[in-house]
Structure 1
Amino acid sequence: MDRGLQEIVDSLSLSLGRPVLIDDAELRPLAYSTQFGELDAVRTASILGRLAPDDARVALFAEGIRTATGPVHIPARPEIGMRARVCIPLVGAGRRLGYLWLFEEPAVNADELRLARAAAAEAAALVGPDADAQLIRRRHEQQLVTALLSSDPALAQAAAHDLEAEHYLPLRPLRVWVAAPASPAGEEWSAEALDRLRARLAAKQALCAELEQRLVCLAGERGSNAVLEALGALTSPRALIGQGDAAEALADAGTSYRRALAALRVAALQDSGIASWDALGVERVVTALPDAALEDLPEGLRRLLAGDQSLVQTLEAYLDHAGDVKRTAAALSLHRGGLYYRLRRIEEVAGVDLHDGEDRLLCHLALRLARLSPP
């Protein structure tokens, strides 16, 4: 007679005289026994919160468990409340389905590892069908997100209709979040981000996908804290996050997505790495302009932007202070004579008249464009 996961865990725990635990591929507990020994703080938090704590996830994945083909001995990390343990991957059809864990106090010997690997193989056969169904559902959700946020109104409307019929995203208003790594990152970064989002957000209460090399998440506004916490915990590199505006209907998700992309461009300039459409000012207009708009600026302005950056900083300070010489000089720690000299140089290089309102507007727009454009 076939055994369930809990029976596998309990039987192995009795045989080894130590706790045995099984997680899915996202480090969510599937089954665990407590007949022997004490659990550590990390495992207790995982069971209570139904997900491994962020610092433990980072530590465990850093040990290479995602790609390991056999048992991995993981040292203790007292600073995060994690005891030494052995990880036995659950693998099926070439895919990582989850992990079986044994605490290493005392050390796990070869015979115990043999029993644990046999139990992991048996557990993988049970977890596999669920993982297959989950993979199919994620592919379906990826297709729905791609269609819902496309520029084709017919595709977007059909996707919205399907999502409503399948009872997705019932909480309104909803928002769209877009995230990207702050510096170049591999595929594992995206996989970790998607894992975190899916683990933190209830099924059908959110949609997570990868679109145009960015992570996209749709969820009810009440789930915003969970989204920001999951993405904010990413490191090496950190995530830049753009938050769209609230939408009452799925048909409006495309607008929220477009505005989240605009906020993402601004997020790169924020210390927090996060920007929201609701908090944008003139950037709402500037982000709507293509990167190529810089090439359409007058030659003199382009020459100024590419040249002496002290002049660029002076121009920005002068315009931000509405042309007030006294306040601009104080902000730059410059004598007024030095400021007047720089302003004359700016006019000469850029070919503008800073007393002309239209030229000042053009200069300000050029500065904002230059800040938002990729290097």
Structure 2
Amino acid sequence: MRNEEVEDVVERVALRLGRGLSLEDLDGVLLAYSSNQSHADRVRVNFLLSKRVPADVGAWQLSHGIAAAVRPVVIPANEELGMLGRVCVPLLVRGFRVGYLWVQQDEDEVSATAILAQLPGVRDELDLLAALLLDSNTAESEHRRAREQLFLAACTADKAALGAVSEWPEVYQRGPWQVVTVLAAPGALPGAAAPLDAHRDPLAATLVQRSAGLQATIGVDDALFSAGASTHAVLLFRSSTGRASHETVLGRFHDELAKRTGLPPSSVIMGISEPFGAFRHLADAYRQSRVAAQASAVDPALGQLVDVRAAGVYQLLSGLGAEPPGSVFYRLLREHDRVHGKTGLLLPVLELLYDNDGAVADVAERLHLHRSSVYNRLGKIRALTGADPLSGRVRLELHLALKAARWATRPRL
């Protein structure tokens, strides 16, 4: 971090405002503070000494919505904490949250009105401060950005990039490896809006993915490298039989996305490739990890952490380019469900039945139905299609059509 330049800007803003300032990162760690202030409350004194926001103070500040704010937030005084009122100024670049600047009220001020009136006058300095923090962010340094681009090129089978990345110290002779794709997915309902809009601002989305991927893997020995694209993050792992490291990264990734976007995604999912021992297979492994993640996105029953082997029929569909299926039986049942709405749940019953090896009792329990209701719906399906949905060929057709319909809603990576 360019500490001196950041500290100079903080001092300059403090002088213009005539107030004490402190600058912290997204984790509540002190980055810089101003030297001039007529009075510092107990919270400020402790913060400057410990360099980190205490848990109780952090909880009080977060309770006022600073993690999602895009404009200054007034934080009222808290006598129990020994805290005067202050204003939190979120620092953002292209929607990417990089830190918080805190402006403390004076002892005799009963409101933050004067501070809010002063802030427009230092807008340029605040923008500069945000840009400095972004530039100093490890995930956005020029060196890091170049390495990520080279890694992503290797993932697309670029021969020169493959050769270069395979010689990196963190990669060389550390196989077998696995490729992992991590993304914020829509909720359980296919077609729900994704929490990160990569189409509206791909640059900002890429910044979020890069930083979340890097921060989520710090200190995880099995995670060798991370890179961010606009829709997802790509991680290189050392292959392992267990999934403890993957679960750790998955949880951290979720937290990092929430911290940087202000809104936690409905779910974060991870697709894992097969292990590979020759680095020339990196691109194949990357494709496998994408398919596994996409399968989880369209079929939440698979879970949030999915090995490509668990993706089942979606592995086949990924190679066929299958979009909404052309099955006549499927179209008949879909039209029936569309017309009858919640009273015509034929396809959900059928899919659960296929996924549960024909166990009617399990389907009835999952859907809170009596077994006779399940049998009645199977009878309705027979009547509509003129075929037995449990017979071999019809079952294969309908089960594949159901999964193809899900696959058509996958996130495009």
- The TM-score, its normalising length taken from structure 1, stands at 0.66
Bigger RCO (CA 8 Å, 6+ sep): 2
Matched, 1:209 2:260: no
For residues 63 and 210 of structure 2, the distance between their equivalents in structure 1, rounded to whole angstroms, comes to 13
Quick one: structure 1 residues 321 and 202, their matched pair in 2 at CA, closer, same or farther if it must change by over 3 Å? closer
For residues 64 and 163 of structure 2, the distance between their equivalents in structure 1, rounded to whole angstroms, comes to 38
For residues 14 and 330 of structure 1, the distance between their equivalents in structure 2, rounded to whole angstroms, comes to 64
Instruction: Tell me if the contact between 2:73 and 2:89 (Cα under 8 Å) persists in the aligned partners.
Output: no
Which residue number corresponds to residue 189 of structure 2?
none
Instruction: Tell me if the contact between 2:270 and 2:306 (Cα under 8 Å) persists in the aligned partners.
Output: yes
Deviations, residues 35-80 of structure 1 (Å, cap 9, x unaligned): 954447999685799xx99x95994353215xxxxxx3542598xx
Which residue number corresponds to residue 196 of structure 1?
212
SS at the partner of 2:387? coil
Q: CA deviation at 1:144?
A: 1.6
Deviations, residues 86-115 of structure 1 (Å, cap 9, x unaligned): 4568899xx998654334464586799799
Quick one: structure 1 residues 194 and 23, their matched pair in 2 at CA, closer, same or farther if it must change by over 3 Å? farther
Map 1:214-229 → 2, pairs under 5 A = 214-220=231-237, 224-229=246-251
Percent identity, aligned pairs only, is 22
Moved more, 259-268 or 288-297: 288-297
Matched, 1:349 2:384: yes
Deviations, residues 323-345 of structure 1 (Å, cap 9, x unaligned): 5677767774143xx66554344
Matched, 1:243 2:271: yes
Which residue number corresponds to residue 147 of structure 1?
153
Question: 281, 291, 296: which one pairs with 1:262?
Answer: 291
Which residue number corresponds to residue 161 of structure 2?
159
For residues 201 and 368 of structure 1, the distance between their equivalents in structure 2, rounded to whole angstroms, comes to 33
Partner letter of residue 333 of structure 1?
H
For residues 14 and 376 of structure 2, the distance between their equivalents in structure 1, rounded to whole angstroms, comes to 84
Instruction: Tell me if the contact between 1:243 and 1:264 (Cα under 8 Å) persists in the aligned partners.
Output: yes
Quick one: structure 1 residues 143 and 8, their matched pair in 2 at CA, closer, same or farther if it must change by over 3 Å? closer
Which residue number corresponds to residue 282 of structure 1?
312
Moved more, 356-365 or 29-38: 29-38
Instruction: Tell me if the contact between 1:286 and 1:369 (Cα under 8 Å) persists in the aligned partners.
Output: no
Instruction: Tell me if the contact between 2:214 and 2:227 (Cα under 8 Å) persists in the aligned partners.
Output: yes
Which residue number corresponds to residue 340 of structure 2?
none
Quick one: structure 1 residues 22 and 199, their matched pair in 2 at CA, closer, same or farther if it must change by over 3 Å? farther
Which residue number corresponds to residue 75 of structure 2?
75
Q: CA deviation at 1:147?
A: 1.0
Matched, 1:176 2:198: no
Which residue number corresponds to residue 21 of structure 1?
22
Q: CA deviation at 1:206?
A: 2.6
Q: CA deviation at 1:214?
A: 1.3
Which residue number corresponds to residue 101 of structure 1?
102
Structure 2 gap segments, 5+ residues each: 187-192, 239-243, 338-343
Q: CA deviation at 1:179?
A: 0.7
Which residue number corresponds to residue 341 of structure 2?
none
Q: CA deviation at 1:159?
A: 1.7
Instruction: Tell me if the contact between 2:226 and 2:236 (Cα under 8 Å) persists in the aligned partners.
Output: yes
